[in-house]
């Protein structure tokens, strides 16, 4: 069960990401895609706030007081994610998701996880990262042939 939980959590995120990608692609006709992203972020924030009591204490004051830097950093990260997704999906489509996925592996796993947070990495992790990078190379070659 211990090794199954990360897969379940990743599956929840993957399903959410697929729904988000579909919504972004459907927004391609909107006059202002960034406004649509902002409104969808408000909807996501409301879902998060309503769900928060299910996973821990609901103390907004102390959470902000003790974690305001992390809140700002995370907010900036979500904004950049939403902006990038909107631009990627409305202009190129969900098939280009692999670019985000692999670049996310590089930025999150390598830069944040390994270099910044000093998280442990074994040979299997390194092989997975190399294969992910190879996937972007193959995707780029495939796009140039299309």
Q: Are residues 33 and 73 in the same domain?
A: yes
Query: How many independent structural domains does the chain possess?
Result: 2
pLDDT per residue as tens digits for the range 63-110 = 999 999 999 999 999 899 888 888 888 888 777 877 888 788 888 888
Q: Are residues 44 and 102 in the same domain?
A: no
Reply yes or no on whether the pLDDT at 28 is more than 90. Answer: no
Q: Are residues 87 and 129 in the same domain?
A: no
Report the C-alpha gap between 17 and 121 in whole angstroms. Answer: 26
pLDDT confidence tier of residue 146, bands split at 50, 70 and 90: low
Domain boundary among 67, 91, 115: 91
Q: Are residues 61 and 75 in the same domain?
A: yes
Report the C-alpha gap between 15 and 13 in whole angstroms. Answer: 6
Q: Are residues 61 and 82 in the same domain?
A: yes
* Residues contacting residue 132 through CB under 8 Å, at least 6 positions apart: 101, 102, 105, 106
Q: Which of 38, 39, 58 is nearest to 50 (CA)?
A: 58
Q: Are residues 103 and 141 in the same domain?
A: yes
Q: Are residues 75 and 4 in the same domain?
A: yes
Domain boundary among 91, 113, 135: 91
Report the C-alpha gap between 52 and 63 in whole angstroms. Answer: 12
What letter does residue 114 receive in the DSSP assignment? Answer: I
Report the C-alpha gap between 61 and 33 in whole angstroms. Answer: 33
Q: Are residues 5 and 67 in the same domain?
A: yes
Domain residues for 104?
96-146
């Amino acid at each position: 069960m211990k090794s199954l939980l990360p897969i379940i959590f990743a599956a929840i995120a993957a399903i959410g990401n697929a729904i988000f990608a579909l919504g972004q692609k459907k927004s391609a006709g909107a006059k202002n895609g960034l406004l649509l992203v902002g409104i969808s972020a408000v909807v996501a924030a409301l879902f998060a706030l309503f769900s928060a009591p299910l996973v821990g204490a609901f103390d907004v004051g102390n959470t902000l007081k003790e974690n305001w830097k992390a809140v700002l950093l995370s907010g900036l990260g979500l904004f950049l994610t939403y902006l990038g997704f909107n631009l990627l999906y409305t202009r190129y489509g969900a098939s280009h998701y692999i670019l985000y996925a692999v670049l996310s592996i590089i930025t999150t796993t390598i830069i944040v996880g390994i270099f910044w947070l000093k998280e442990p990495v074994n040979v299997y992790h390194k092989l997975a990262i190399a294969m992910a990078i190879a996937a972007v190379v193959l995707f780029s070659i495939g796009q140039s042939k299309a």
